[in-house]
Chains A and B, each alone.
Chain A
């Protein structure tokens, strides 16, 4: 079984998610990694353990173009896979329908050559499926897999493609920040709508900075304009699996909990001892975030936990 895996890129560089999806895909067979973007990203990808060959395509494409590119390469592979990112979600179902395949997406565990586990109902149930189709189209949740090592030196093959797309890229509105990638971060500090303002959200960001953490937010906090949309964690946002998640003023709606079930340890700061998030937290501090956060950040600064 050979795997064609679509690499995950962010602004032309290889994302941390790629090494994780390679680790997942490598459980199923030798992996050829398709890198559509700058040559430097393809070169970077050669180091990932489990990659047999890097296929470099110079064009960065939108969904229809990418699906066409993958379809053109599909013949040589039994599995075509990607990360369950917004790119993978955009492209892979389109590819699957083109190839007349029912895809299996958001895989969190591989239980055999064609047996996979995926969450449904916002993670409140886990579905185990067997896929008896001859070819498989899959997406993996990067956060559910440990990254592959980087001790490889795979060869690079360059594709001369000229693929047309009916859709046209107009502009990116990126959230510029130097904080770690949310989906793969080891520590995440999340803030809810109870911070009351974008200013209030800064208290959450300050704690995150002290810990070298990524920042998450609830849908309510994003809707209110306190945090950018790509910080949303949950059923319809990002899925995270940090070693430590600190949830500040977050009630713990099931749609939010959907995104944090993979967290190893959860700490809740909330005025309400009955909040669902407090009920599942490993450690809780009941109190007002506006009093707690400045003091907590200061104490941690003092104790010198800088990462």
Chain B
């Protein structure tokens, strides 16, 4: 089986972001960047399938500026075999991303495409589902368990009511949730080895996809701030406050 994993370079999830005072967006220059955490779970899932003998090739694709090579290298160090950077300096909407990925899928013909369920920058949670539509493949989003049984998958998904298990034939698209696995930290020799693995760089314009944004972002603003309130000194005081709040609520 061949697996394609799509990964995104984002502002590191530990960074406290700052909205630019002119409302033009979030400050990303001089900010620590890393692989989107959900994408790491997707890569780990692919590597585990390969280690179990179920996959023989893992291809990593990332769409973004040249430094996105770094997240591809991270995935190669985790155990993937080769990488493709679809290079663009333009920020792209999720539909354009999905269309570019659909072209890569058409070229690579993977049996399984793994992606993170969402990216922690725009929090969209779109691309896997869009890619599934564009390639006319079944999808299993928010996966917390993936079982391969011949040419079919059994995926357990985290949903609002708990979990659910669905079955889908390959080829298919699966998006990873955080409890799918624990991503490994690549050991230094693997990091060194990653540098010698094939990594193709291809301009996004080469794929014949219209990348023009559909939406106009008018402004980006900080959320209203919450200020610290009062500290109480006893449980009795706290109980009185809660009781008063709850009684007031009932009056509504």
Q: Do A and B bind each other?
A: yes
**A residues apposed to B, CB below 8 Å:** 10-11, 62-64, 67, 85-87, 89-98, 100-106, 115, 119-133, 165-175, 183, 186-187, 211, 219, 222-223, 228-230, 235-236, 238, 243-244, 246, 254-255, 261, 265-267, 269, 273, 278-286, 292, 295-296, 299-300, 303, 305, 307
Residues of chain A lying within 8 A (CB to CB) of residue B226: 261, 266, 280
| Binary CB contact string for chain B from 197 to 238 against chain A (1 if under 8 A, 0 otherwise) | 000000000000000011111111111001111111111111
Main secondary structure on B side of the interface with A: mixed
Asked, given contacts A285-B238, A296-B238, whether A175 binds B16 with beta carbons under 8 Å apart, the answer is no
From A121, A211, A295, give the contact of B246 (CB < 8 A): A211
B249 adjacent to A123 (CB under 8 Å): no
B96–chain A nearest beta-carbon distance, Å: 8
Residues of chain A lying within 8 A (CB to CB) of residue B163: 172-173, 229-230
B218 adjacent to A130 (CB under 8 Å): yes
B87 lies within 8 A of chain A by Cβ: no
B161 adjacent to A167 (CB under 8 Å): no
Main secondary structure on A side of the interface with B: mixed
Which residue of the partner chain B has the closest CB to A106?
A: B123
CA distance A91 to B219 in the complex (A): 28
Residues of chain B lying within 8 A (CB to CB) of residue A129: 215-218
Q: Which of B73-112 contact A (CB under 8 A)?
A: 93-95, 98
B19 lies within 8 A of chain A by Cβ: yes
CB within 8 Å: A-B pair count? 264
Residues of chain A lying within 8 A (CB to CB) of residue B179: 222-223, 229
Q: Which of B48-56, B61-69, B164-172, B186-194 lies at the interface with chain A?
A: B164-172
Residues of chain A lying within 8 A (CB to CB) of residue B249: 186-187, 243-244, 307
**B residues apposed to A, CB below 8 Å:** 11, 13, 16-17, 19, 26, 93-95, 98, 117-118, 120-127, 129-134, 137-142, 144, 154, 156-169, 177-179, 213-223, 226-243, 245-247, 249-250
8 new A-B pairs (CB below 8 Å) besides A105-B124, A255-B13, A267-B238?
Answer: A125-B223, A131-B214, A170-B165, A174-B162, A236-B117, A236-B118, A238-B160, A285-B232
CA distance A244 to B220 in the complex (A): 28
From B95, B118, B157, give the contact of A96 (CB < 8 A): B95
Asked, given contacts A93-B126, A94-B139, whether A125 binds B215 with beta carbons under 8 Å apart, the answer is no
A169 adjacent to B17 (CB under 8 Å): no
Which residue of the partner chain B has the closest CB to A287?
A: B235
Residues of chain B lying within 8 A (CB to CB) of residue A255: 13
B121 adjacent to A173 (CB under 8 Å): no
Asked, given contacts A125-B17, A125-B19, A132-B216, whether A170 binds B232 with beta carbons under 8 Å apart, the answer is no
From B93, B123, B160, B232, give the contact of A121 (CB < 8 A): B123
Which residue of the partner chain A has the closest CB to B98?
A: A97
CA distance A276 to B195 in the complex (A): 40
Q: Which of B124, B217, B233 has most A Cβ within 10 Å?
A: B124
CA distance A165 to B240 in the complex (A): 54
Q: What are the 7 tightest A-B residue pairs by CB atom distance, in nearest-first order?
A: A97-B130, A282-B229, A102-B214, A93-B129, A93-B126, A97-B133, A166-B138
CA distance A230 to B161 in the complex (A): 6
Q: Which of B154, B214, B240 has most A Cβ within 10 Å?
A: B214
CA distance A236 to B124 in the complex (A): 11
Which residue of the partner chain A has the closest CB to B123?
A: A120
B141 adjacent to A125 (CB under 8 Å): no
A124 adjacent to B230 (CB under 8 Å): no
Which residue of the partner chain B has the closest CB to A168?
A: B167
A122 adjacent to B120 (CB under 8 Å): yes
A128 adjacent to B158 (CB under 8 Å): no
B91–chain A nearest beta-carbon distance, Å: 12
CA distance A243 to B248 in the complex (A): 11
A268–chain B nearest beta-carbon distance, Å: 9
CA distance A257 to B2 in the complex (A): 39
A286 adjacent to B231 (CB under 8 Å): yes
A64 adjacent to B159 (CB under 8 Å): no
Asked, given contacts A10-B160, A64-B138, whether A131 binds B245 with beta carbons under 8 Å apart, the answer is no
Asked, given contacts A127-B217, A167-B139, whether A265 binds B166 with beta carbons under 8 Å apart, the answer is no
In the complex, 15 of the A-B residue pairs with CB atoms within 8 angstroms, ordered by the A residue number, are A63-B139, A86-B157, A91-B129, A93-B129, A102-B94, A119-B223, A125-B221, A130-B215, A170-B165, A222-B179, A229-B179, A244-B242, A244-B245, A278-B228, A303-B239
A126 adjacent to B238 (CB under 8 Å): no
Residues of chain B lying within 8 A (CB to CB) of residue A280: 226-228
Asked, given contacts A283-B229, A295-B235, whether A126 binds B222 with beta carbons under 8 Å apart, the answer is yes
A285 adjacent to B235 (CB under 8 Å): yes
B158 adjacent to A230 (CB under 8 Å): yes
B168 adjacent to A168 (CB under 8 Å): yes
Which residue of the partner chain B has the closest CB to A212?
A: B246
Which residue of the partner chain B has the closest CB to A175?
A: B162
Residues of chain B lying within 8 A (CB to CB) of residue A125: 17, 19, 26, 220-223
